[in-house]
């Protein structure tokens, strides 16, 4: 692996990729997270009846909270729980990282219901 920004990561076995459970979720709540080392929010996201509402910490402060509430996002929901400044982050919200470090959240086209699997 190289330290060059944008450089590709090493190849992985496709089976590893297909074990990641990617789902559509709808942001229900956004809270400030002043305890985090880097500026971040705590997000509560509805992933439908099978998964319910999960919480995560996300460095997406380039968005205003009212831009996020109601928005569809894509999350990796089976990576385990991580403790971030005492907060239990239960999934990873996905986004594209711009050159300045700003994260632009991924979202599906249309209006698939929360919990829809991402292929």
Q: Could you tell me the residue ranges of all domains in the chain? A: 19-105
End-to-end CA distance of the chain: 26
**Rounded CA separation 72/15 (Å):** 27
Contacts of 89 (CB under 8 A, 6+ apart): 55, 56, 57, 81, 82, 83
Q: What is the predicted pLDDT for the residue at 1?
A: 46
- What's the CATH code, domain 19-105? 2.40.50.140
**Rounded CA separation 86/84 (Å):** 5
Q: Given the structure tokens 């996905």, which residue do they identify?
A: 94
pLDDT (tens digit per residue) in 47-71: 999 999 999 999 999 999 999 999 9
Q: Which pTM does this prediction carry? A: 0.91
Query: Which residue ranges of the chain lie beneath pLDDT 70?
Result: 1-5
């Amino acid at each position: 692996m190289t330290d060059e920004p944008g450089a590709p990561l090493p190849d992985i076995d496709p089976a590893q990729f297909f074990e990641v459970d990617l789902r559509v979720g709808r942001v229900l709540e956004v809270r400030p997270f002043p305890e985090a080392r880097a500026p971040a929010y705590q997000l509560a996201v509805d992933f439908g009846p099978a998964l319910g509402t999960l919480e995560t910490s996300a460095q997406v402060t380039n968005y205003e909270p009212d831009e996020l509430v109601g928005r569809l996002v894509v999350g990796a929901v089976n990576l385990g729980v991580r403790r971030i400044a005492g907060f239990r982050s239960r999934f990873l919200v996905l986004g594209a990282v711009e050159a300045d470090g700003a994260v632009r959240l991924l979202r599906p086209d249309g209006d698939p219901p929360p919990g829809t699997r991402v292929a």
